[in-house]
Homo-oligomer: A and B are copies of this chain.
Amino acid sequence: MKRPLLDVVAEVLVAQPGASLAEVAEAAGISRTTLHKHYATREELVRAVGVRVTDIWEQAVERVAKEPGTEAGLRQLLAAMIESGPQLTFLWRNPALDADEELTRRYIDVERRCLAVLDRARSRGLLAASATNWWLLQTMYSLVYTAAEAIEAGKLAPLDAPDLVLSTLLHGLGGPIAGAAGDGTPGEADAATATAATTSSPTAS
């Protein structure tokens, strides 16, 4: 019942980065005055959430950092990222946090760990040697973000997401001519690219 304050605060701010302190306090079940006693200013609070989110992100990557560069290893990495997807966007969309030295240092460090897994996969021929590390990361981030958002919107089953993202990342959405592995049997497809949402309902956001 007595969830740590930072937990609730982070949850609220991640969901609504523009929430007022009054809303945050109310969601946490404390008065605004008390909230101010824990975090003197909004900046301080945002930073605390940033640190916590980085913690989560760090642990998630740590958990899979030792995975070999196999397809299963990649899948685990993606699953971990998707799981903490909403939290990550909090980091990405907070220019204020870029000013924090320690935070960006840690962020870069975690990113390095990610790249290590990716490099391992690349050395096994699982990833294209021609793909830039930078573009690889960006693509991964954007797919993960999209998947996380889709899950939140109820358009994608959490269990399907990692496979879908992995398949898309590795093979793209190209047809069987270019997309399927070398062997023949073009009838079986990827088995993960489908099974998304029933309705298409293409709305903004």
Contact = CB atoms under 8 A, between A and B. Distances in A.
Contact of A92 (B98, B124, B201, B204): B204
Given A131-B193, A132-B194, A204-B91, A171 B174 contact: yes
Contact of A177 (B125, B150, B169, B197): B125
A189 B129 contact: yes
Contacts of A197: 132, 134
Chain A interface residue bracket vs B: 35 or more
A95 B205 contact: yes
15 contacts: A93-B205, A128-B173, A128-B174, A128-B189, A130-B189, A130-B190, A130-B194, A134-B155, A134-B197, A134-B200, A134-B202, A135-B173, A138-B146, A138-B150, A142-B142
Interface of A: 91-93, 95, 97-98, 104, 107-108, 111-112, 115, 122, 124-139, 141-143, 145-146, 150, 155, 164, 167-182, 189-190, 193-194, 196-197, 200-205
